[in-house]
Structure 1
Amino acid sequence: MDPRLQQVAESGSITDFYALIDESPYLLESIDTVSFVNTPLHIAAASGRIAFAAEMLNLKPSFARNLNTNGYSPLHIALEKDQKDFVTWLLRLDPGLARVKGREGFTVFHLLVLRGNVDLVVECLITSPKCIEDVSVNGQNALHLAVMNDRFEVLQVLTGWIQRMSQRNALSTEYAFLNQMDLTHNTALHLASGMLYFLQFLSVFCFRNKAKALTLFMQAVKLLLECRMVQRNEVNGDGLTFLDILRTHGHIDEGGDLQQLVLKTGCKNAASLPTKLMKTYDFFKSPITFWTYCSTQTRRISADTSDEARGVFLIICTLLITAT
């Protein structure tokens, strides 16, 4: 970037900016052709220059989604520099920017969760609800990040939102969000129980913080268990269920609230789970039975309302009546 343009972006002077454009009319175009570059909007974001940023977006809307050489968008930079007013303004201007993926696939929404910014997390969920579906390259979603970074209030918001949402495909979205596995096949529930184990080894000099953290993670575990769509008996990459992790590290008191909740929600250890009798490839290799054929055609027709599909449906109904 031209050093003069960088200086102008830092100062936020729109007058000086147009003086530069008068000298070099293609100044912004030369920046826009580069895949990874610090744009004037990145510089303005770092300095919190809202008026200058508005002018940049007026001229070059694409700058808002450009990543710099470190893999960050202007909003990522504004968050890193704690420019809260700038972040709020830009998200309200374009709510879709909450879903821009930067380094390691972390979105702006992910960073808001990680930082525990509850107000902006809620605003993103309302104005850009699909941001909750985004996953990093490590397979982590907002739920993982809230658990790993001890953001209990954000966790409450996320679980409360996902169980109340009524958008299209809400049920499948809720299931996918609550049971997302990272690259090591850990769900948020696995991570919460694992963090309880990690906290046992904190220094005795951090006892007060340790006790508080243990309480919060125990609350997080209970909160996740109370979500009806959470799969409590998923096995992680180490072959352990949530209950295996808890029992291994002695976090279930006999007769305690957690034990009662574990029993109530049907948590099991890996050894007691039924083995899968048929692998996926065995299923596809198996013969197509009459009932398999009928159920498959019925599912296909449910997604196709054409006259031809309705005709096929009538044939299937006739076959079913004849068979019974």
Structure 2
Amino acid sequence: MNPLILLKNAAQNGDVNKLYQAIAKDSNVLEHYDKTSFAETPLHIATSRGHINFALEIMRLKPSLSKKLDEQGWSPMHVALQHNQTSMVHRLIETDPTLVGVKGREGFTPLHYVVQNDGVNLLREFLAVSPHSVIDTTNKGKTALHIAAEKGNTRALEALLSFLGRSWYREALYWEEKVVNWKDENGFTVLHVAVTMNDIQVVKSLLNSKINVNAKSLEGFTVLDIVDRANNNPDMKDVLIQAGAKHSDVMKTYDINAIPSMKQVSFEPKPTLLDNVIRFLKGQKTNISTETRDALLVVAALVATATFQAVLSPPGGLRQADSSDSDSLPFSKEIMVPLQIG
């Protein structure tokens, strides 16, 4: 039998023995795929069918195949996601975390795929093993945040914002603001997208971040302009104006000062002790080592935990506890992942 046919059959059945039979017939059988620009490799076939052992054997023998694109423009990781092979995905990223950021068709990465399909659990795992992937963009300049807003995937968007807000690597403040305010090919930030989609829940989530509420698109429109042009949603307009949104010089359809007074709404959540420490550490861009940051974070967590215990069991009983703290626990259980950028 032709070695390539034997290898394809082996991949379809997950048969490692037949894999080595094909290699015995032609020791360069795997090299065939390296010489082809785009091809459905045995790894594509194995990942689509969930043959984990076979897939890992191929990756060990020929690591380059893990990033090879098939004729449709997808990597083996993309194919595993498309076929809901979750266990396969976990094993792939354990073997090579960089697969999270492999760009396939139209610049879509596996991270973009899970955001598009609201795969929050996988999203968190992807960010943990490959934090750099949060800054990847598609061919149209869209970040994962843009995609989440377009699809109305609020959980995915909030997971991304939480990751950006709680990361404490060097220059984290800069990158948090940079990613949140990234503009796509139309000059749209994620807030422009959320307003265009008329998704007030996503808009409110974004207003808790470092979003520039008056950023302009390539045509010069702000988000308040878009509300008037697209949907004229009064609730959306109120929320944006309360956050400081203004009309651009390109389009001023009415006097903002003439709008009736609105109920004062605060979009800024009460920061916890740990949040404040993280913010402090983010600001120390050059004068503090990574080891010192680690130590300070551990101390902050211990202090926050002690504070939490004190709130639960204050001296003299619960009656003397400050009731204003009851709605905001001083310690977050959320895992923070250091991100080394730059």
Q: Report the TM-score when normalising by structure 2.
A: 0.70
Residue of structure 2 equivalent to 1:234: 215
| Equivalent position of 1:251 in the other structure | 233
Superimposed CA distance per residue, residues 229-254 of structure 1 (whole angstroms, 9 cap, x where no aligned partner): 2111111133311011123322124x
Are 1:268 and 2:270 matched, yes or no? no
Question: Residue 259 of structure 1: CA displacement?
Answer: 5.1
Contact 1:225–1:261 (Cα < 8 Å) also in 2? no
Tell me how far 1:3 sits from its aligned partner. Answer: 2.5
Q: C-alpha deviations, 1:2-22, integer Å up to 9, x for none?
A: 222111101000111111111
Q: Is the 8 A contact 1:244 1:269 kept in 2?
A: yes
Residues 194-232 of structure 1: CA distance to partner in whole angstroms, max 9, x if unpaired?
A: 112xxxxxxxxxxxxxxxxxxxx21101111221x2111
Aligned positions of 1:180-199 closer than 5 A: 180-196=182-198
Amino acid at match of 1:263: I
Q: Tell me, what secondary structure is at the counterpart of 1:30? A: helix
Amino acid at match of 1:241: T
State the shift of 1:41 in Å.
0.6
Match of 1:146 in 2: 148
By percentage of residues, which structure has more helix? 1
Structure 2: 5+ residue runs without aligned partners?
A: 252-284, 287-342
Instruction: Give CA-to-partner distance per residue, 1:48-104, whole Å, 9 cap, x none.
Output: 110000110110111111111221110011111111111121112221110111111
2:82 and 2:250 map into 1 onto residues whose CA distance is: 46
Q: Which residue is equivalent to 2:333?
A: none
Residue aligning to 1:168: 170
- In the TM superposition, 1:59-208 aligns within 5 A as 59-196=61-198
**What one-letter code is carried by the residue in structure 1 that aligns with 2:123?**
V
Write the deviation string for residues 113-164 of structure 1: whole angstroms up to 9, x where unpaired: 1111101100111111111010111000000000111111001101111111
Equivalent position of 1:219 in the other structure:
201
Could you list the per-position Cα deviations for residues 161-189 of structure 1 after superposition, in whole angstroms to 9, with x for gaps in the alignment? Answer: 11111112212211121111111111111
CA distance in 1, matches of 2:159, 2:135: 15
Measured on the aligned residues, the alpha-carbon RMSD in Å equals 1.9
Deviation at 1:272, TM superposition (A): 8.4
Q: Aligned partners of 1:28 and 1:127: how far apart in 2?
A: 28
For 2:243 and 2:60, the matched residues in 1 are separated by 53
- Structure 2 distance, partners of 1:85, 1:172, is 35
For the residue of structure 2 that corresponds to 1:191, the secondary structure is helix
Match for 2:111: what amino acid? F
Q: 2: distance between equivalents of 1:98 and 1:34? A: 23
Structure 2 residue aligned with 1:33, among 24, 27, 35?
35
Which position in structure 1 is the counterpart of 2:292? none
Q: Distance in 2 between matches of 1:17 and 1:43?
A: 13
* Matched length: 250
Residue 33 of structure 1 and its aligned partner are, at CA, apart by 2.3
Q: Give 5+ residue unaligned stretches, structure 1.
A: 197-216, 274-301, 304-324
Separation of aligned partners in 2, 1:172 and 1:33? 42
Q: Is the 8 A contact 1:65 1:100 kept in 2?
A: yes
Distance 2:237 2:217 in 1: 21
Equivalent residue of 2:44, what SS?
A: helix
Q: Does 1:20 align with 2:22?
A: yes
- One-letter amino acid of the structure 2 residue matched with residue 242 of structure 1: V
Whole-angstrom CA distance in 1 between matches of 2:238 and 2:150: 25
